[in-house]
Structure 1
Amino acid sequence: MKVVILAGGLGTRLAEETEIIPKPMVEIGDRPILWHIMKIYAHYGFNDFFIALGYKGDYIKRYFLDYCHINSSMTINLKNGHINTHENKAEDWQIHLMDTGLDTMTGGRIKRLQPWLENDTFMVTYGDGVSNINIQELLEFHKSHKCLATVTAVRPPARFGGLMFKGDLVDQFTEKPQAGEGWINGGFLVFEPEIFDYLTGDDDGLEVALLEKLADKGQLAAYRHQDFWQCMDTLRDKYRLKDLWDSGNPPWKVWG
């Protein structure tokens, strides 16, 4: 089953990083968040990736072009340019790096990939969010509900700590990792090919042009994930993910 990762946005709210590189290439530890997302899917056996490129897509292409060599020992013949790799430690992934336009909206990027996706169920997620979601359970949920699409509903992390009182005195500070701030679209979507009937072109956003229409038709199921989820929307989010990674036990690291 194919996995689409939307990696073409401008990332304006993370401008401190994205003036130089696209947001999916911002590193958590020593790897781009895009790599972390792919590791989640690959852990459950899904390693056929379509990366929908846009803003600074050349950085993502260059990263994967160099990936095999960087993760291998090698012998280089300087005279003829031949390169032989040894002890290749790269993952067994097939990666399609697809130019989907600089200004194309999220739904439009999926529409541009229709020729490669229109024959079977496929998955889509954003290039800036990680989770400990069980992808196999998500797929089973999708199949059991027989809808054209399933969205993973999550509750965003608490933005601020809370106060608990004892009378008029502050008793303690609390900071919950997940807050009851309402359910939102957390990515990790599953689609049937019929969704392409709802998309017309580059100006279609994913939520308005597609998900809202499917909801109106009773064709959008919601898989409620109540455990860890975090997007990297701001610099604060990046630092939180970095701290979790540096702790040695990041919640989204489902792979061994």
Structure 2
Amino acid sequence: MLIDYSDNLIQSNSSIECGIKLLDGLKLKILFILDDKKKLVGTVTDGDIRRAMLSNIKLSGPILMAMNKKFIKYFEGSDLSGLKAKILKDDLKAIPVIQSNGLIVEVHALGAHPNQALKDNVVLLMAGGFGTRLSPLTDNCPKPLLKVGDKPIIQTIIENFIEHGLNNFVISTHYKSDMIKNYLGNGKNLNCSIEYLEEESPLGTAGCLSLLSDTHLGKPVFMMNADILTNVNFTQLLDFHLKAKTAITMCVRNYTHQIPYGVIRTNNHLIESIDEKPTQVSKVNAGIYIVNPETITNLQQGKNLDMPALINSELEKNSSAVSVFPIHEYWLDIGQIADYQKAQVDFISNFSND
């Protein structure tokens, strides 16, 4: 169908960061990039932006660095009878029809795909940690139940998943598990389903996967620490995982660290260069995963296992078994008091409905 694409236009001199903000407010998640003569020079989707991030392109850089130059297009006057089939076959967001000079005539799409479409995937939340770095706040309260804003951390996490059509939850507990169960119950008050796994002794960051039953493993499983505040697009994460066809997808974030000294590069006893207080960017684990059922069924039930060990085990079997999904959305690991204090401030601008 024809769509109103006026809100999907962006100038070629805009930044990637500007494109992200524009995409966040759109139902149809695609941008059409115009040069100063209003000629269509490319398109950008969320996937294009994340691929740019994997290539270490800064979000402050020009959107042209993330642009798809080889986008599918039709020219004015051509036969459009196969256009809808093309969108379906190639899983496209939209196809523009342009004039010979590059000006857009119209845009065809099947319509926005709502995040709220129900999904059968199970979400496993790891909520069994002691939260010792947040003591004394966690002396009498498990970390997932600490309030950020007007609600516990774990409730915000659950509500974010529900917004993306994910409403089947399994919560792995250990420390003060009864408090978590008494607060959340079976999930009825949140319009979702909640089951619980009890770790008799801590099983590490991946061991609780082995406690899932066959009924949980019909589709890939989301797995997330229950102390992370984020608005990651879980719909796009699932789409990415399914297209990547890997055993595990790990969410990663860019972490920037400035070395407080001049870094010297040498060749034997001679200095080749000196870089004064350079900034290094590394990709770090964001504590959010999707794991295929086949990987989970091969685990030894009840055995302590950390996620790095599971990932390395999969890589030993297949070097292409694990993919990374770079996230540009808000993300905060509430591990220490300073993080908890920051979360209180950030909550207002990132999660409050007021």
TM interval, short-chain normalised: 0.7 to 0.9
RMSD: 2.6
Change (3 A) 1:63 1:182: same
Preserved contact between residue 43 and residue 254 of structure 1 (Cα < 8 Å): no
Of 28, 37, 49, the match for 2:148: 28
Letter in 2 for 1:31: K
Instruction: Tell me, in whole angstroms, the C-alpha distance in 2 between the residues paired with 1:61 and 1:254.
Output: 25
| Superposition deviation, residue 12 in structure 1 | 1.6
Q: What does 1:202-221 align with in structure 2 at a 5 Å threshold?
A: 202-216=302-316, 217=318, 218-221=320-323
What is aligned with 1:74?
Answer: none
Instruction: Tell me, in whole angstroms, the C-alpha distance in 2 between the residues paired with 1:254 and 1:43.
Output: 14
Q: What does 1:229-244 align with in structure 2 at a 5 Å threshold?
A: 229-244=331-346
Instruction: Tell me, in whole angstroms, the C-alpha distance in 2 between the residues paired with 1:255 and 1:39.
Output: 12
Instruction: Tell me, in whole angstroms, the C-alpha distance in 1 between the residues paired with 2:170 and 2:202.
Output: 18
Q: What does 1:131-150 align with in structure 2 at a 5 Å threshold?
A: 131-150=230-249
Instruction: Tell me, in whole angstroms, the C-alpha distance in 2 between the residues paired with 1:205 and 1:125.
Output: 15
Q: What does 1:177-216 align with in structure 2 at a 5 Å threshold?
A: 181-216=281-316
Instruction: Tell me, in whole angstroms, the C-alpha distance in 2 between the residues paired with 1:105 and 1:209.
Output: 10
Q: Which has the higher contact order (CA 8 A, sep 6+)?
A: 1
| Superposition deviation, residue 8 in structure 1 | 0.6
What is aligned with 1:51?
Answer: 171
| Superposition deviation, residue 188 in structure 1 | 2.3
Instruction: Tell me, in whole angstroms, the C-alpha distance in 2 between the residues paired with 1:230 and 1:236.
Output: 11
Change (3 A) 1:221 1:215: same
| Superposition deviation, residue 97 in structure 1 | 2.2
Query: Which secondary structure does the structure 2 equivalent of 1:183 belong to?
Result: strand
Instruction: Tell me, in whole angstroms, the C-alpha distance in 1 between the residues paired with 2:247 and 2:352.
Output: 28
User: Aligned pairs, how many?
Assistant: 213
Letter in 1 for 2:247: L
Query: Which secondary structure does the structure 1 equivalent of 2:171 belong to?
Result: strand
| Superposition deviation, residue 65 in structure 1 | 3.5
Change (3 A) 1:67 1:221: closer
Q: Does 1:16 align with 2:115?
A: no
Instruction: Tell me, in whole angstroms, the C-alpha distance in 1 between the residues paired with 2:242 and 2:202.
Output: 33
Instruction: Tell me, in whole angstroms, the C-alpha distance in 1 between the residues paired with 2:301 and 2:135.
Output: 27
Preserved contact between residue 24 and residue 127 of structure 1 (Cα < 8 Å): yes
| Superposition deviation, residue 93 in structure 1 | 0.8
Give the share of equivalent positions with the same residue, in percent: 23
Instruction: Tell me, in whole angstroms, the C-alpha distance in 2 between the residues paired with 1:152 and 1:3.
Output: 15
Change (3 A) 1:12 1:118: same
What is aligned with 2:212?
Answer: 113
Please give the TM-score of this superposition, normalised by the length of structure 1. 0.75
Instruction: Tell me, in whole angstroms, the C-alpha distance in 2 between the residues paired with 1:100 and 1:239.
Output: 29
1:147-206 superposed Cα distances (whole Å, 9 cap, x missing partner): 1110111135x799x9xxxxxxxxxxxxxxxx9641111122111111125522434333
Please give the TM-score of this superposition, normalised by the length of structure 2. 0.55
Preserved contact between residue 199 and residue 210 of structure 1 (Cα < 8 Å): no
Q: Determine which structure has more spread, i.e. the larger CA radius of gyration.
A: 2
Letter in 2 for 1:235: I
Letter in 1 for 2:203: T
What is aligned with 2:224?
Answer: 125
Change (3 A) 1:31 1:204: same
**Unmatched segments (≥5 aa) in structure 1:** 69-89, 163-178
Change (3 A) 1:240 1:136: same
Of 97, 106, 114, the match for 2:196: 97
Instruction: Tell me, in whole angstroms, the C-alpha distance in 2 between the residues paired with 1:186 and 1:40.
Output: 16
Letter in 2 for 1:104: L
Query: Which secondary structure does the structure 2 equivalent of 1:103 belong to?
Result: coil
Change (3 A) 1:124 1:66: closer
Preserved contact between residue 199 and residue 209 of structure 1 (Cα < 8 Å): no
